[in-house]
Amino acid sequence: MKMGGPSYVARLLFLFAIYFTTARLGLSIDAVNGFAMLVWLPTGISLAALIIWGVNYWPAVFAGAFLVNFLLGVPLLAALGIAAGNTLEAIVGAFLLRNVFSLNNALERLRDVWSLILAGGLFATAISATIGVSSLYATGVLTSFDYIRTWLAWWVGDMISALVVTPLILAWSVPRSFKYTRLQIGEFLIASSFLIFMSSMFFTSLLGINTRGLPITYVFFPPLIWYAIRFGQREAVTAVFVLLVMAVVGTIGGFGPFVKGQLNENLLLLQGFMGVASVTVMILAALVIERREHERRKDDFIIIASHELKTPITSAKIFVQILKKHFKNTKDKKLVHYLTTIEDQIDKLTDLIGELLDVSKAHVGKIILNKERFVVDDLINQIVNEIQQHESGRKIVVSHDAKRKVLADRVRIGQVLVNFINNALKYSPEDRDVYVSSEVFNNKVVVYVKDAGIGIRREHQGKIFDRFYRVDDRDKKGGQGFGIGLYISAEIIRRHGGSIGVSSKKDQGSTFFFTLPIVGNGRRRKGQFPLRYLSGGRLVRF
Ligand code: ADP
């Protein structure tokens, strides 16, 4: 930041003016022993300004603090001492946060919130309180009797300002790239009405309810938590600030749960609450944002990694095919076997990578459907034939009765079917058949894949359609998968407006099913799916 330029001077004057005005406002409210202000916006404003613009803006703070106190009648030396304390508070706080903790002003990381609370809220403000109150004491304005009480009020007033006003300014100082959807705007309006309603109910007489002194401060947490969880840090800290303003105005007017005794005691209570509320809400918002960010990065990573993996695998496949052609007429059976095995493994790898890519796409709602009209039974025949070719030892028994057409993405529905059948083969003994059936039921085509395998315990049944969920069973045979096949299947079926589910009992096999809306009207039947298709247990349906 360059010093001495016109923008520097303009900003200095601006900061001085704001500091001076808000300080006068604070002074007009109420003070402990005439000096320690319980509503002290200047601390939060100066700390934020020095964090955003740089510590070299300190002269504005010094001048503002000095003038306010001097005009109040504080002796010259004490006023200088107080101004020095206030300035040092902003300088030390801003220096620690900018240079030592490398604060990111959006406050969207937990570490930023913690550093603001500790360095700005707790530590820097103690400097101002100590120097300020000591100056008053040294110049004989305060007695030793009043020292502790005044110090405490000074510290708390500054702290709340650093915890409520500083985050407000910091969060708004960072431009944001995303825009709200209409739905989010709607939700935001509802949350805001809720907050305004709550605070008007408790801090004004508008609704005719008298909440004077009632211990019901907890009612403010639901709206605040709503902001923290559903919106960003900016919205959360703004809500806290709005509540602070309403609470201060209400408490001064004699309304609300903080009205217990004298005004400065009431304000102290109020500040304590606001400090806790602000810290809680900021931490919560940061945690939620960080979690969202981690999820996004994980998806990005998987998408990039799968794309990168595709290239070498594609070329490996091409070279194996060249080799196979090259040794087309060889008598060496082992060589042919090795090459076929390599090719099979490459195909498996390609499928796995495809699944990984799909899971990320599904998570961000990017699975694209190419819908066409087709008869599901035809698709079942095709898929079962393909799988049966590789599974010569196992029988996949087909019995279908769904001749109606659906409008769906044939490849994606095939993928769901393949996943069901492969799971049925993977999680059931080698000597047991797998059954694939279909029927029309309540304007829908239902497809069932039934096995006589290990089954799924009830507590897992609802979760296996979640992302990356795998049942951790010791007796589970077959290779461990990624736990994403069913998640992708569920997403695909959901996007088609169908439902997906399972009926299963431990050790008694499972039936997985999905439904798809049919084109035109189908037969309507009452009741549940026919029992012959299911495997017992509760029917879990999504
Ligand atoms: P995975 O790649 O692990 O098979 P899925 O999403 O396809 O992933 O399945 C999730 C979990 O559901 C599996 O780990 C398995 O424990 C269980 N599961 C799926 N199908 C069956 C089945 N037919 N029988 C028993 N358990 C199954």
Nearest-atom index, ligand 1, CA of 484: 6
Distance CA 223, CA 239 (A): 8
Q: Whose CA is nearest to atom 11 of ligand 1?
A: 470
Question: Comparing 374 with 537, which gets the higher pLDDT?
Answer: 374
Q: What is the pLDDT of residue 123?
A: 96
Q: Report CA(464)–ligand 1 centroid distance (Å).
A: 7
Between CA 261 and CA 123 the distance in angstroms is 29
User: Residue 1 — pLDDT band, cuts 50, 70, 90?
Assistant: very low
How confident is the model over 238-278, as pLDDT tens digits?
Answer: 999 999 989 988 888 888 889 888 887 888 889 899 999 99
DSSP string, 178-234: ----HHHHHHHHHHHHHHHHHHHHHHSSTT----TT-S-GGGGHHHHHHHHHHS-HH
pLDDT tens, residue by residue, 358-376: 887 777 777 888 899 999 9
Q: What is the pLDDT of residues 475-517, one digit of tens each?
A: 555 556 678 889 989 999 999 999 999 999 888 899 999 999 9
CA 310–ligand 1 middle distance (angstroms): 25
Rounded to the nearest angstrom, the distance between the alpha carbon of 470 and the centre of ligand 1 is 6
How many angstroms separate the alpha carbon of residue 525 from the centre of ligand 1? Answer: 31
Contact 213, 259 (CB under 8 A): yes
Ligand 1 atom with least separation from CA of 469: 10
Length of the chain as a residue count: 542
Q: Residue 71's CB: how many other CB atoms inside 10 A?
A: 13
Q: What is the rounded CA–CA span in Å between residue 507 and residue 484?
A: 23
Burial classification of residue 255, based on how many CB atoms lie within 10 Å of its CB (0-12 exposed, 13-18 middle, 19 or more buried): buried
CB of residue 43 inside a 6 A radius of ligand 1 = no
Instruction: Give the C-alpha separation, 107 to 278, whole Å.
Output: 13
Element (H, E) at 436: strand 434-441
* Per-residue model confidence (pLDDT) at position 322: 93
Q: Which is it for the CA torsion 481, 486, 487, 492, positive or negative?
A: positive
Question: Which phi-psi region, left, alpha or beta, contains residue 518 (left: φ > 0; alpha: ψ -120 to 50)?
Answer: beta
Looking at the CA of residue 480, tell me the nearest atom of ligand 1.
3
For the full predicted model, state whether its pTM sits above 0.85. no
CA of 145 to the centre of ligand 1 (A): 72
